[in-house]
Amino acid sequence: MRLFQNSSVYPGYLPRLRMLAGGHLSFNAQLQRFLADRYAASHILKPVLEGSPHAFFTNGNDDQLQKAWARENGLSSKASPHDILLAQIEHHRTEVFYNLDPIRFDDSFVARLPGCVKRRIAWRAAPSPHHNFHRYDLLVSNFPGILERFSEQGFRTAEFFPAHDDEMNRFAANEDRPIDLLFVGGYSRHHKRRGAILEQVACMAERWNVRFCLDPSRLTRLAESPLGVFPPLRKHRRPTVIQRVAQSGVFGLELYKALGQAKIVLNAAVDMAGEERGNMRCFEAMGCSSLLLSDEGRYPRGMVPGQTLMTFSDGRDAVAQAEALLRGDPQVLRSIAKAGHQSIQNAYSRDSQWQAFLKL
């Protein structure tokens, strides 16, 4: 099977990626440095990570990476991201196209795929009521409710999960964890519930080592610039108590390192998630053997409140749970964290993910 996997990189990760990849490296050299940094590695399929000659991977929204491939293969410097990705698929003679970015490369792109492509699969883990995915053979994610909504729109769906990245194991083995409570994630005006929880938890910094690695939205950054003195922007600033514990966002191996230094990792689902849980931070925190403290809801297999993670009902309860864990027996905290790590390893191995993909 000739597999082509297309992904994308978050804007906040680009500065680190540019530092790693440099400015004049070949396509393959840039790609290898990206893969070595383990960004979104839980979503990258086994043949890609093992360097199979039948598998091709790229980040279709990484302009520097894609332009390097275009230069090396005689494409015009004015070629669009869609044209470059299409040329890569044709050159690779792809049979299965697996797309992690179906909003950018949507039905209009799929309509242009060459005849060699026999299966078109897209990962989509967010509600998308205004997008059409009918040209994809299958939509996959690990959120049953979202898949049900897609099914109601007439799309064919299937359950599919991220994999545990074995590179996390060396961070999971770390017993020296100076960070008492860590949160890593985005912060914007759309994250109202998350913002309220973070504001309450940030007050714990008076007693504990609390660290928030935040990737703020453009509006938040603008509000905290000198222009933020104007009233329309002022309300979008992060509360002072959050700013005091906030650091820049972390990605790739920097994320693994931070998680491996934390006793507790806070997860606060975004508002659109509803009651479903199991976002990437759950897999990453448990994969690095941090104790996951997350909001109540419906979790996938291996994520069992009270056994492999702990849950809270609101911001006040999150503080109470974290305080009890940190003031209690440290062996109890570590035992739950280790049980979580073992559970993720067992339930979501890279091999089982690949076998599930083959069945799809």
pLDDT digits over 152-162, tens only? 999 999 999 99
CATH classification (class only), 3-160:
alpha beta
> By three-state DSSP, how is residue 292 classified?
strand
pLDDT tens-digit readout, 348-358: 999 999 999 99
Short-list 212, 180, 221, 168, CA closest to 194? 212
Query: What pLDDT is attached to residue 23?
Result: 74
Q: What is the CATH number of domain 166-347?
A: 3.40.50.2000
Q: Where are the alpha helices (DSSP H) in the chain?
A: 14-21, 27-36, 46-49, 63-72, 81-92, 107-110, 144-152, 169-172, 192-202, 218-223, 231-234, 240-243, 252-260, 280-287, 315-327, 330-347, 350-359
For the segment 308-316, the average pLDDT, to the nearest whole number, is: 96
Query: What pLDDT is attached to residue 233?
Result: 67
Quick one: pLDDT band at residue 187, thresholds 50, 70, 90? confident
Half-sphere exposure of 247 (CA within 13 A, CB side): 12
Quick one: pLDDT band at residue 188, thresholds 50, 70, 90? confident
The rounded mean pLDDT for the chain is 93
Output the six-digit token pair for 66. Answer: 């894609």
Quick one: pLDDT band at residue 228, thresholds 50, 70, 90? low
Domain 3-160 shares a fold with domain 166-347? yes
For the segment 288-305, the average pLDDT, to the nearest whole number, is: 96
Query: What pLDDT is attached to residue 269?
Result: 80
Query: What pLDDT is attached to residue 24?
Result: 76
Question: How does DSSP assign 181-241, residue by residue?
Answer: EEEEEEE-TT-HHHHHHHHHHHGGGGTS-EEEEEEE-HHHHHHTSGGGGSHHHHTTSPPHH
pTM: 0.94
Q: Pick the residue with more confidence: 142 or 221?
A: 142
For the segment 231-255, the average pLDDT, to the nearest whole number, is: 86
For the segment 59-79, the average pLDDT, to the nearest whole number, is: 96
Q: To which H or E segment does residue 139 belong?
A: strand 138-141
Residue 223 pLDDT greater than 70, yes or no? no
Find out whether 291 and 340 touch, Cβ atoms under 8 Å.
yes
Task: Quote the percentage of the chain above a pLDDT of 70.
Answer: 93
Amino acid, res. 153: Q
Domain ranges of the chain: 3-160, 166-347
Task: Quote the percentage of the chain above a pLDDT of 90.
Answer: 83
